[in-house]
Every structure is written in C-alpha cells, then in structure tokens.
Structure 1
C-alpha cells in the first residue's frame, strides 16, 4: 500500500469519522424522547428531526467516500501485485512450468488475487472501522449507565465461544474451496486445450464424469462453508434476543424505580443492534480476511519460488561471432538421471551443425541448455570463448533465435506475432523477411494481410502456414545463432521445398544448429553429431559418417529404404 499512502490515510480518517458519529443518532433520539416528546414540545421535536436528517446525510456522504477510497486502494494494490506475479512467472525457469499445472497459475494470478482485493475493499479497513465503532459505542454505553451495559453484555462470553468455533471451521472450509477452484481451473484449461484428442478418441462421457466429480467436490466445499454460516448467524440472533430481553426486563425495572429515563432504554435498544451489527459484520469481514489470507499464502508460494535462471552475468559484447563450445557438459532434468553425458563439440562462426538421433537421445536438451532455459550440472558452455553464464541473460538470448516444431501463435495479428510487439522492427523489415521466406503471397491472400487476426494457437492457419510465420519471426530478429528444432517436420513436401532455399539464405553468415529426423534436410551441414542416450557416438560430415558404416549410415539407409518403398 506504500505507493498509495494518500488513499490509505484518507480511508483511515473516514473510518475514524464513521466510528465517531455512530452513537450520535441514538443520543439524539434519547435526548429528543426525554426532552421534547415526553414534554409535548413540537417545535423542539421539529428541530431535532432536522438535526437527525442532517446527521444521516452526513453519514451517507462519509460512507460513500469511505467505500470509494477503500475500493480504489484495493484495486490499485491488486493491479500492482498482479503485475508483480506475472513478471515473476515470466522469469521462472522452464523446469518450473514442467512441474506446475497451467490452471494452477491462472487461478493464482486471477481468482486468488481477486479474493485478496476484498481484504482492502471489504476486509482490513472495514474490520478496523467496526472495532472502533464497537469501542466507541461501548464507551458511550458505560458512560451513560454502567449497570445497564453489564446486563446487556451477559451473553457476550457465549458469542466469543461461538465465534471461535466458527472461525476455526471456516478456515478449513476456505482452504478446501480455494483448492477445488484451482482443480476446476486446471481441469478446464487442460481439457479445453486438448479437446481435439478427447473427441478423436470419443472420451466425452468419461471426461464429463471426471469433471462432474471435481465439480461435486467444489460444490460440497462451498456447501460446507455455507452450512457454518447457516448455523452461526441464527446463534447470533438468539444471543441478540437474549441481550434485548435482559435489557427490557432490567431497564423497565429501572424506569419504574425512576433510576433512568425511558430515552436511555430506547437508546440502549439501538446500541444493542449497533454492537451486534459490527460483531456480525466483523465475523463476515473476518471470513473475507480468512479467505484472502488463504489466497495470499497461495500467491506468496508463487512469489517465493526462486526457480530463476541466475542472471548474475554482466557480459554484453557489442558483436557476437557465434562460436559455440561444449566442454565436458553433463545435464539432468531431475537429480542425476543424466540426459547429456560428457558432451564435447565445437561449432565455428557461420557453420551449420546438425544433431541427429533417436527420440530422447538429448538433441533438444542440447539447444535448451545453450539458451539457458535449463542449467547444466557439470562442464562449461562457451559463446565466443566466454562462459554463457557470464553473459547478461537477455543479451545472450537476443543473439539466439529458435524455430520449434510446435509453433505457438498468440491471438493477435500476424504482424504482432512476428515482431512480438518489438517497436524496433519495422513493417518493411517484416515484408522483406516474408518475401525471403516465401510466405508473402499466402499472407496477402488473408483478410487484412499482415493485420489478419490469428486465433488462439493459430487455429485458423495450417501447420505449414504457422511454421512459415515462425521462420519470419526468427529472421526479423536478426540472430547470430539460428536453431531449427525439427522445424520442417510438420510441413508437407511441397512447402518444404519452397522454404528450403529460404532456410539456406537465413543460415548464411549465421551459426546454425539443426535438429531433423529427415536426414535429407541436413546433408549440406558442415558437421553432423549423432546422439544416443545422451552421449555423442559419431561426429563428421554426411559423407564422412556414411563412410564410417556406423549408426548414422544405418539410420540413413533405413530412411532411404522406407522412402523407396
């Protein structure tokens, strides 16, 4: 709240004002009843009615600005926290996302934060206000008649005990509610994203039953929370009725004994409601606070996650040649289940390196650790002779562009999907890159051309068209190192032939690393590395590896024979 001190202190002042004026109306009614109504003074009664109207209008104005200030404060704070959470998430390692359901993060960033906003708009300051009002009213009551006040407070221990039981029960219920909200979001996100698979395999009914089970658990958690409310608030009403009965009984005796005036009893009847209303609201606000604290714990769990790629490097060379050296590199995703084992190789500036091998051999892991999406456990990776950990992280990644097999496109225009909202990239550069890749003609046939709005994940484009856009994206960022991770595997033969020349043009003057299952696409590579179970088995050119009569030759002959058939 520190950046919003002004709004915060305004809220505090308005809260104090509301508490200060709370007993004013009962005092006016007490004074009016004893001095004007019982004495049949109509002119004085009119004057007091005007004073009461003015008081009510004043309270309404104060309450309006109080509500406005607390909500503005809450929404500003939540906006800042949401930005902080999103910024934190975008800087986490990919390993964190490998182990964390997407729906869980969505719940943290949206649903849980909305719950926290209630702490400010309906919780913390409101609780302070209710407590102040309670103290002020009890003070006035004790000052007016301490014996009558003590009679009214006789049922209070029962209320304290009921409140404690309710508080403990509600905390458990709220944890369950937030947990099942998160489970619902996770289930929905995964199944909507994978709807094609569900329908391909006719799993609609089975998945519906799973969803129904989660939905029932979510419903049961809410019902349990509401059940506690349904028990607690009638108990409060009974306690209020007991206090009212005691007041009427003892107050009537005092009036008959001429110990107090009727106005005092009427005022105390109003005080009872004004005491119990803040207590009821305190319980309600406390539940808001409880739910907010549960959500806060879940958000702080994300914010306290330190799964960052260390960005302690400061090296920012003005020019990068693109020499890559792997020196005794060992890497594992979990513990010491090594994915790469003592990997050694070098790539000269401008060379093209091809990585081949069976699925899971370690090819994609090699390019992931080069960009420091994952950290190696042993060894050193150098770029232009400098350990990549000494580079400033964004500077390192700005020199590397990767085209993946699974292209991700945002629900945005083609132009923005290519530039990623980088203002330094002009439309002319995008058009030039599109022509170079061979995608210009198909883009211009779309409604709006480069302003065509792509649907989520590029659903309205073919896989080949989406892949072409990813090539343009890589080209306009002008990388020193170009990585193609099976980038032509989802493209038909005709489209592959169309862009192969463009790929060759893209590689000119750049260090390139190519992962491909189609060995026909890597025959021109300056160096081919054959991986098997995380180890380098063979290194050489296409002709050199065929001459060895080893793993590569067997793989090549297998593909050649399958194509001949």
Structure 2
C-alpha cells in the first residue's frame, strides 16, 4: 500500500472532488437498491394482495429513483474523472520537474525510452486506477455493506447460504494478486525496453540506413516485441487461470439462492416478493465478487507502475546546494583546479589535475579519445562533482556556489550538439529568452552563423527539424555557439565545438571571440592544432592525467605528445625542411 500512500499526497490536494465523488457513489449504491424493494412491494402488495391503488405511487417512485441514480452517476463520474486528470497532471509535472534537477549520471544510467514509458504508460495505469478502480472499489464495498445489512434483516439463513462461496472467492482473489503483480512488473519493464528500442531506432534512423542495418534492427525489435508478448501472455495466463474460478464461484451463489430460496417460498417461509428482492440484491453482492478479479488486475498494474514512477521521484540528485550557498552577480573568470581527481565506481577518469587560468585566458585541452577532456570541463559548472581536490572560481569552491547562480556564470557548447524543433531565432535565444533580434544577430555574427542564416528563405524564423535536422553539422555547431555567446557569460566552454567547421571559418570565429567587448575565460577542447595554437596555455591529457602543459611554442620545443600531434597534422611542412611559422599562419 506504500504506492497508494504516496499517491494520496497528490490526491488530497483535490479532496473536495475525492469526497464528493465518494458521496455520490454511495448515493448511487443506495438508489440502485430501491428498485428491488419497489419490485417486492409490487409483487406482494399489488399483484398478490390486489392493492392496485399503490401501483401509481410505486411507479412514480421507481421513475424518481431512476432519475436520481442517473444524476448521481453523472456527478460521480465528473468528480472522479476531474480528480484523476488533475492528479495525473500534478504527478506528471512533479516527475518532469524532478527529472530537470537530476544530475548527468542519472541520465547516463537510464535510457530515454525507459523514462518516456514511465511518463506515458505507467502514468496511464495510475489514472485508470483512480478513474475506474476507485469507483468500482467503493461501489463493491458499499454494495456488500448495505445489501448485506438488508438481506440479514430479511433472512439470515438465506443470506449465509448466498454468501457461502465468498471465502473461496477471497482466497482465489488473494492468490491472483500475489501472482499477477510480479507479472505486471515484468510487463512494464519489458515495455520500457521495447520503447527504448523504438526511440533509439527512430533517433538513429539515418545511421541505420547508412550502414544497411534495417534488417538487423527489425530482428532486434522482433526479439524485444516477442519478449513483450511473452510477458503479457504470461500475465494473461495467470489471469485466465484464476478469473474463471472467481466467476464460477460468484455464479454458484445464484444457484444456491434459486434452490434454497425456492424451497423457502414453497414452504411459505418467505413471499415471492422477498425472494425476488433477494435475487436482485444477490446480483449486487455477486457483482463485487465478479469485479474482484478485474480490480486485482487493475490495482496490480497501478502498483507496478507507481513503484517505477516514485522510484524516479525518490532518486536524489548527486549535485545539490550546500548550506548557505554563495551567490555573486558576475565572477571574474579566474579558475583553478587543485589536486582534482574524478572517479566513476573504482575507475579514475581524472587524476591529480592542477592548473590555473586567469580571467580572460584561453585554455586549450587536447588528448586522445577517453583521456578525460569532457569530464574535466564538466567539473567547472558542477555537472559532476570531484572525487578528490577542489575546483575554484575566483577562489571560491564551486561546491559553495548556489547551483543556479554558478551555471549562469558558465556557457557551454557541448560535443553532442542539440537543437530544438524550433526557429533558429528561438534556438539561439534559448538561454536568453529576452534578447532582442539585434543581439541575436550579433551573437550569430560572432559564431559565424549570420551569413548562412540570412541566406535561408525564412532567415531567423526558419524552423529546424528534430535535433537540428535540415542544417549541416557545421551549421548546427555555429547556431549552438551563437546560443552560448548570446549569454555573455564570464566563462565560455567549447567542447569540440568547431570540429565540423572549415579552418577559415574557425579562424574567423576565434578572432571574433577574442575581439568581444566582454571577453570570457575560454576553454577549448579541440583536436586540430589550428584551433589551439593561440591559446594562453595548452593542456595535454593522457589517461586522465596532465602529460604536458604550456604554450604552442613551449610544447613544440618539448617534442613530446603535443609535438607528435603537430607532426601528424603538419608532416608535409616538416618534410619540406622544418617548421615554418609563416606557413602555419596561412594554414
């Protein structure tokens, strides 16, 4: 019941709908019992004893009760449906808001398709148990209570006979609930796997076609789809095993009533009207028994889904504000790494990193794939926290900053460029929604994007496709760079942000960044010598450690890792008789 206790925190915000719904469900139950009593009076008083003067009044009462019941159904449905929709809206918002607060590591461990399934299929299971399950459960409870009281007052012996199968129904319903819940948990997990497979395939459909892997993807989907079928089929077999038993036992109650009730009528112990009333009321008792299997099914689905939803809400972010966080208007941009190490599980990604960047400096970071370049720059804005040592901005440990304030000081163009299915203007202004069009154009100019944007028919109002489809790799990088430049943050990080841009455009971008009125402390991750040669310091990472650090000229003289990179990229110059600075300038 833990899931429903947690769910109540969302339901109680709309308690007026909850309690109003319950009241009208109870009124509906009560109203539905009146026709049975009226039928008894018509049979015993009007038909059997000839009191025809009562017929009109009884029929008017019958119509009035029917209208009252219809009104109750309308109001109960409105209240419960409104309750389920409002609760679901708040729950979805809570999950979505919480996802925004979770750290990068959470998304590294959870696939997009799985998270989407929790926001869709699992949420719908919760809505269904509120909108349908709650109505049926309350109806069942009050039918048993109210009808049971009336029948016991009429004839205890016949009531006990009619309810003889109830303990067996309860036993099999309990067995069903114990077996069906794990099965539904497996179904929900497999649905996440299936959803992830579809999401990844559609997102990467161009790669699939480029490498002619359509049939491989079909086979992979077929395997996941078949597993989903098997788990659903397994749950259905459990349901098929127990539900007919519950239905049979519920139907057996009718047989007992017909046999023993008929004998009592023949013996003159009860009237035909009482027997008819028992028969109609018995159906009200049998209905909860018949619905018990469906309710167990619905509730088990909701519990399995609720556990997955609340699992997200109970996941704590690894990156949180400390006590009394520091807030500053704008940092100078001085950055220092002091004995910094970063470890995932038992593996060190970075080890003993020490360097200092003055305000307005340009720091370039190079190294082989997997050497820790992106991990290093992700520590500056606390996308991850250091395992050892500390990262300081203006002599303040980044852990002491207010997280929102810290990230306002840092703009980043990530390696994996992401653009929204929006206009180019809105993509550039994403971090600065109040920016004017002139400011957006200036940022685009600095990023080298202004020229190609203005050549597009719709210009800045052009809507790009999903993830920026419709733009080339270099164009997407430049729009992403413009987005970061527009924020005018004192710290700017470019994670391989110009790798798809030609060298001439890249050179113009670097010049524009240098000439900005409010120059940022700039971190550049790059693989090309031309991208980093003018940096104030170049850091070469190898296996998570700083292998070399210095300026372009200093590192060339060392003839170490940096020189090896230079040698591979400029081997023709070296073959011609050495390193010619003038030629490199032109290159």
1:563 and 1:484 map into 2 onto residues whose CA distance is 28
Residue ranges of structure 1 left out of the alignment (5+ in a row): none
Once structures 1 and 2 are overlaid, which stretch shifts more, 142-151 or 202-211?
A: 202-211
Tell me the SS of whatever aligns to 2:539. strand
Q: Does 1:47 align with 2:57?
A: yes
Residue matched to 1:359: 369
Residue matched to 1:167: 177
Residue matched to 1:322: 333
Residue matched to 2:7: none
Query: Residue by residue, what CA displacement relative to the aligned partner does 1:164-187 show, whole Å, maximum 9, x if unpaired?
Result: 232223223212221221111111
Tell me the SS of whatever aligns to 1:315. coil
Residue matched to 1:429: 439
2:506 and 2:92 map into 1 onto residues whose CA distance is 43
Q: RMSD across aligned C-alpha pairs, in angstroms?
A: 2.0
Query: Residue by residue, what CA displacement relative to the aligned partner does 1:309-366 show, whole Å, maximum 9, x if unpaired?
Result: 021251111231000011111111223x212111111000111111112222222111
1:415 and 1:282 map into 2 onto residues whose CA distance is 56
What is the Cα deviation at residue 502 of structure 1? 2.7
2:295 to 285, 288, 292: 285
What is the Cα deviation at residue 430 of structure 1? 0.9
What is the Cα deviation at residue 501 of structure 1? 2.9
1:139 to 146, 149, 155: 149
Residue matched to 2:82: 72
Q: Does 1:409 align with 2:422?
A: no
Tell me the SS of whatever aligns to 1:23. helix
Residue ranges of structure 2 left out of the alignment (5+ in a row): 1-10, 576-587
Tell whether the 8 Å contact from 1:483 to 1:513 is kept in structure 2 after alignment: yes
Query: Residue by residue, what CA displacement relative to the aligned partner does 1:397-445 show, whole Å, maximum 9, x if unpaired?
Result: 1111111232100112212211227443222311222233332232233
What is the Cα deviation at residue 457 of structure 1? 0.6
What is the Cα deviation at residue 231 of structure 1? 4.1
Q: How does 1:152-551 map to 2 (within 5 A)?
A: 152-312=162-322, 314-335=325-346, 337-420=347-430, 422-506=432-516, 509-551=519-561
1:232 and 1:507 map into 2 onto residues whose CA distance is 75
Change (3 A) 1:240 1:508: closer
1:109 and 1:303 map into 2 onto residues whose CA distance is 12
Once structures 1 and 2 are overlaid, which stretch shifts more, 11-20 or 517-526?
A: 11-20
1:423 and 1:478 map into 2 onto residues whose CA distance is 13
2:125 to 115, 122, 128: 115
1:233 and 1:533 map into 2 onto residues whose CA distance is 61
What is the Cα deviation at residue 233 of structure 1? 4.0
Change (3 A) 1:228 1:25: farther
Tell whether the 8 Å contact from 1:475 to 1:506 is kept in structure 2 after alignment: no
Tell whether the 8 Å contact from 2:491 to 2:522 is kept in structure 1 after alignment: yes
What is the Cα deviation at residue 471 of structure 1? 1.5
What is the Cα deviation at residue 537 of structure 1? 2.1
Change (3 A) 1:508 1:249: closer
1:386 and 1:237 map into 2 onto residues whose CA distance is 70
Tell whether the 8 Å contact from 1:363 to 1:531 is kept in structure 2 after alignment: yes
1:325 and 1:283 map into 2 onto residues whose CA distance is 64
1:31 and 1:227 map into 2 onto residues whose CA distance is 46
Tell me the SS of whatever aligns to 1:317. coil
Tell whether the 8 Å contact from 2:338 to 2:391 is kept in structure 1 after alignment: yes
Tell whether the 8 Å contact from 2:330 to 2:409 is kept in structure 1 after alignment: no
TM-score between both structures, scaled by the size of structure 1 = 0.95
Change (3 A) 1:281 1:2: same
TM-score between both structures, scaled by the size of structure 2 = 0.92
What is the Cα deviation at residue 563 of structure 1? 8.1
Change (3 A) 1:508 1:250: closer
1:115 and 1:562 map into 2 onto residues whose CA distance is 66
Tell me the SS of whatever aligns to 1:255. helix
Tell whether the 8 Å contact from 2:413 to 2:493 is kept in structure 1 after alignment: yes
What is the Cα deviation at residue 82 of structure 1? 1.0
2:566 to 549, 556, 561: 556
Once structures 1 and 2 are overlaid, which stretch shifts more, 287-296 or 154-163?
A: 154-163
Residue matched to 1:59: 69
Tell whether the 8 Å contact from 2:446 to 2:513 is kept in structure 1 after alignment: no
Change (3 A) 1:163 1:405: closer
1:563 and 1:486 map into 2 onto residues whose CA distance is 25
What is the Cα deviation at residue 263 of structure 1? 0.5
Once structures 1 and 2 are overlaid, which stretch shifts more, 517-526 or 548-557?
A: 548-557
Tell whether the 8 Å contact from 1:22 to 1:133 is kept in structure 2 after alignment: no
Change (3 A) 1:361 1:245: closer
What is the number of residues matched between the two proteins?
Answer: 564
1:314 and 1:67 map into 2 onto residues whose CA distance is 49
What is the Cα deviation at residue 42 of structure 1? 4.5
Once structures 1 and 2 are overlaid, which stretch shifts more, 137-146 or 307-316?
A: 307-316
Query: Residue by residue, what CA displacement relative to the aligned partner does 1:18-62 show, whole Å, maximum 9, x if unpaired?
Result: 233332121111111111122345553233222212211211110
1:256 and 1:562 map into 2 onto residues whose CA distance is 114
